[in-house]
A and B are shown apart, each in its own frame.
Chain A
Amino acid sequence: MQLDSKCPTGPIKDQWTDHKNKINVVNPANKRLIDVIVVGTGLAGGSAAASLAEMGYNVKSFCFQDSPRRAHSIAAQGGINAAKNYQNDGDSVYRLFYDTVKGGDYRARESNVYRLAEVSTNIIDQCVAQGVPFAREYGGLLDNRSFGGVLVSRTFYAKGQTGQQLLLGAYSAMSRQIGKGKIKMFNRHEMLELVVVDGKARGIIARNLVTGELQRHSAHAVVLATGGYGNVFFLSTNAMGSNVTASWRAHKKGAFFANPCYTQIHPTCIPRSGDYQSKLTLMSESLRNDGRIWVPKNIEDVEAIRKGKKKPTELSEEERDYYLERRYPSFGNLVPRDVASRAAKERCDAGYGVNETGEAVYLDFASAIERYGKEQATIEGNENSSKEEIIRLGEQVIENKYGNLFQMYEKITDDNPYKTPMKIYPAVHYTMGGLWVDYNLMTTVKGCYAAGEANFSDHGANRLGASALMQGLADGYFVLPYTIGDYLADDIRTGPIPTDSKEFDEAEKAVKTRLEMLISNKGTKSADYYHRKLGKIMWDKCGMARNEKELNEAIAEIKEIRQDFYKNIFVPGSTSEFNPELEKAARVEDFLELGELFAHDALHREESCGGHFRDESQTEEGEAKRDDDNYTYVAAWEHGVSPSDPILHKEELTFENIELKQRSYK
Chain B
Amino acid sequence: MSNQAGMNLTLKVWRQKDGNSKGKIETYKLADISEHMSFLEMLDVLNEQLISEGKEPVAFDHDCREGICGSCSMHINGEPHGPDRGVTTCQLHMRKFKDGDTIYVEPFRAKAFPVIKDLVVDRSAFDRIIQAGGFVSVNTSGNSQDANAIPIPKAEADKAFDAATCIGCGACVASCKNASAMLFVSAKVSQFALLPQGQVEGKERVLNMVQQMDDEGFGNCTNTGACEVECPKGISLENIARMNREFLKAKIHKE
Note whether A and B contact each other (Cβ less than 8 A). yes
Residues of A within 8 A of B (CB): 47, 50-51, 54, 65-72, 74-75, 84, 86, 119, 122, 124-142, 158-159, 161, 164-165, 168, 171-173, 175-176, 178-179, 185, 187, 210, 237, 239-241, 273-274, 276-279, 281-282, 356, 407-408, 411-412, 414, 477-478, 481, 524, 526, 528, 570, 572-573, 577-578, 580-581
Distance, CA A122 to CA B2, complexed state (A): 51
A66 to B64, CA, bound (A): 13
Contact A581 B69, CB 8 Å, known A130-B138, A273-B36, A274-B37: no
> Contacts A66-B124, A131-B197, A173-B135 given: A141-B148 contact, CB under 8 Å?
yes
Q: How far is the CB of B202 from chain A (nearest CB, A)?
A: 11
Q: Across the interface, which residues of A come within 8 angstroms of B192, CB to CB?
A: 131
Residues B41 and A277 in contact, CB atoms below 8 Å apart: yes
- Across the interface, name the chain A residue whose C-beta is closest to B127: A67
Interface string of B27-64 (1 = CB under 8 A from A): 00000001011101100110010011011110101111
Per a CB cutoff under 8 Å, which of B36, B63, B195 touches A240? B63
Given contacts A126-B140, A240-B63, contact A412 B44 (CB under 8 A): no
In the complex, are the beta carbons of B147 and A54 less than 8 A apart? no
Given A84-B147, A274-B37, A276-B45: A133 and B160 interface contact (C-beta under 8 Å): yes
Q: Is the CB of B140 within 8 A of A173?
A: yes
Residue on B nearest A277 in the bound complex, by CB = B41
Query: Contact between B124 and A279 (Cβ–Cβ < 8 Å)?
Result: no
- Min CB distance, A474 to chain B, in Å? 11
B161 pairs with A165, CB closer than 8 A: yes
Known: A128-B147, A159-B161, A478-B142. A526 touches B48 (CB 8 A): yes
Nearest A-chain residue to B60, judged by Cβ:
A580
User: A481 contacts which chain B residues (CB < 8 A)?
Assistant: 140
Given known contacts A131-B195, A580-B57, is B152 in contact with A125 (CB within 8 Å)?
no
The listed residue (B38, B69, B120, B138) touching A239 by CB distance below 8 A is B69
B142 touches A119 (CB 8 A): yes
Contact A67 B126 (CB under 8 A): yes
* CB atoms of A578 and B18 under 8 A apart: yes
Q: Is the CB of A412 within 8 A of B91?
A: yes
Q: Across the interface, do A75 and B70 meet the contact criterion of CB distance under 8 Å?
A: no
The residues of B that contact A74 with a CB separation of less than 8 Å are: 64, 68-69, 167
Of the A-B pairs whose beta carbons lie under 8 Å apart in the complex, a sample of 20, sorted by A's number, is A50-B140, A69-B127, A69-B130, A75-B69, A125-B145, A130-B135, A131-B191, A140-B151, A140-B152, A237-B66, A239-B64, A239-B65, A240-B63, A240-B65, A276-B44, A279-B66, A281-B66, A408-B66, A477-B140, A573-B56
Distance, CA A478 to CA B143, complexed state (A): 11
Are A172 and B130 CB-contacts (below 8 A) given A86-B148, A408-B91, A578-B59? yes
Q: Which of B66, B95, B160, B161 has the most CB of A within 10 A?
A: B66
Which chain B residues border A178 with CB–CB below 8 Å? 127, 131
Q: Is the CB of B141 within 8 A of A126?
A: yes
* Interchain CA distance A281-B44 in the complex, whole Å: 17
Point out the residues of chain B lying under 8 angstroms from A524, CB to CB: 52
Which B residues are in CB contact (< 8 Å) with A412?
38, 91, 93
> Would you call B157 an interface residue if the criterion is a C-beta within 8 Å of the partner chain's C-beta atoms?
yes
Interface presence of B75 (CB below 8 A):
no
Knowing A126-B141, A172-B136 are in contact, say whether A72-B147 is a contact too (CB < 8 A): no
Query: How many whole Å from B198's CB to the nearest CB in chain A?
Result: 5
Q: How far is the CA of A74 from the CA of B154 in the complex (A)?
A: 23
**CB–CB B157/A136 < 8 A:** yes
Contact B63 A130 (CB under 8 A): no
Contact (Cβ within 8 A) A125 B64: no
**Nearest A residue (CB) for B40:** A278
* Distance of B96 from chain A, by nearest CB (Å): 10
Do A66 and B122 form a contact, CB below 8 Å, given A165-B161, A173-B135, A274-B36?
yes
Chain B positions within 8 Å of A, measured between CB atoms, are 2, 17-18, 34, 36-38, 40-41, 44-45, 48, 51-52, 54-57, 59, 61-71, 84, 86-87, 91, 93, 95, 116-117, 120, 122-124, 126-127, 130-132, 134-148, 151-154, 157-158, 160-161, 164-165, 167-168, 191-192, 195, 197-198
Asked if residues A122 and B143 are in contact (CB atoms below 8 Å), the reply is yes
Expressed in whole angstroms, the Cα–Cα distance for A161 and B198 within the complex equals 20
Question: Cβ of A70: which chain B residues have Cβ within 8 Å of it?
Answer: 63-64, 69-71
- 8 closest pairs, A vs B, by CB? A140-B151, A172-B135, A179-B131, A133-B161, A128-B147, A51-B140, A133-B160, A239-B63
Task: Report the bound CA distance from A281 to B144 in whole Å.
Answer: 36
- In contact, B116 and A210 (Cβ under 8 angstroms): yes
Quick check: B84 and A528 within 8 Å, CB to CB? no
Bound complex: CA A237 to CA B66 (Å): 9
The complex places the Cα of A47 from the Cα of B145 at a distance, in Å, of 18
Contact check, B146 vs A66: say whether CB atoms are below 8 A apart: no
Interchain CB contact under 8 A, B34 and A274: yes
Task: Chain A residues near B34: list those with CB within 8 A.
Answer: 274, 276
Closest A residue by C-beta to B188: A172
- Residue numbers in A under 8 Å from B44 (CB-CB): 276, 278, 528
Across chains A and B, the number of contacting residue pairs, with CB separation under 8 Å, is 221
Question: In the complex, which of the residues A50, A142, A570, A580 has the most CB atoms of chain B within 10 Å of its own CB atom?
Answer: A580
In the complex, the answer to whether B137 meets A125 with C-beta atoms within 8 Å is no
| Nearest chain B CB to A154 CB, angstrom units | 13
A72 contacts B51, CB within 8 Å?
no
Q: Report the Cα distance A51→B57, complex, angstroms.
A: 40
A66 and B67 form a contact (CB under 8 A) = no
Determine the distance from Cα of A140 to Cα of B126 in the docked complex, in whole angstroms: 32
Given contacts A133-B191, A408-B67, A573-B56, is CB(A69)–CB(B168) below 8 Å? yes
Cross-chain contact A130 with B116 (CB below 8 angstroms): no
Q: Which of B126, B140, B148, B152 has the most CB of A within 10 A?
A: B140
Q: Which residues of A contact B151 (CB under 8 A)?
A: 136, 139-141
Inter-chain CA distance A135–B161, complex, in Å, is 8
A25 to B211, CA, bound (A): 40
Distance, CA A172 to CA B56, complexed state (A): 37
Q: Which of A137, A164, A273, A274 contacts B167 (CB 8 A)?
A: A164
Separation of A481 and B56 alpha carbons in the complex (Å): 44
| Contact between chains at A129 and B197 (CB < 8 Å) | yes
| Distance A105 CA – B212 CA, assembled complex (angstroms) | 51
Q: Which residues of B contact A131 (CB under 8 A)?
A: 135-136, 160, 191-192, 195, 197-198
Instruction: Report the bound CA distance from A62 to B95 in whole Å.
Output: 38
Q: Which of A124, A128, A178, A210 counts the most B-chain CB atoms under 10 A from its CB?
A: A128
Closest chain B residue, CB of each to CB of A578 = B117
Which of B2, B71, B123, B191 meets A356, CB within 8 Å? B2
A175 to chain B, nearest CB (A): 4
Contact B165 A161 (CB under 8 A): yes
Complex: A136 Cα to B196 Cα, angstroms: 14
Q: Quick one: given A411-B84, A477-B140, are A165 and B152 in contact (CB under 8 Å)?
A: no
Q: How far is the CA of A478 from the CA of B130 in the complex (A)?
A: 24
A295 to B244: give the CA distance in the assembly, Å: 54
**A67, A159, A173, A281: residue with the most chain B Cβ atoms closer than 10 Å:** A67
Among candidates A75, A125, A161, residue contacting B144 with C-beta atoms closer than 8 Å: A125
Q: Are A572 and B41 in contact (CB under 8 A)?
A: no
Question: Which residue on B lies nearest to A127, using beta carbons?
Answer: B147
Instruction: Give Cα A161 to B161, complex, Å.
Output: 10
Cβ-defined contact, B161 with A164, below 8 A: no
- Give A565 to B127 CA distance when docked, in angstroms: 38
- For A156, give the chain B residue with the smallest CB separation: B147
Nearest-CB distance from A665 to chain B (Å)? 29
How many Å lie between the Cα of A132 and that of B160 in the bound state? 9
Q: Which of B56, B134, B144 is within 8 Å of A572, CB to CB?
A: B56
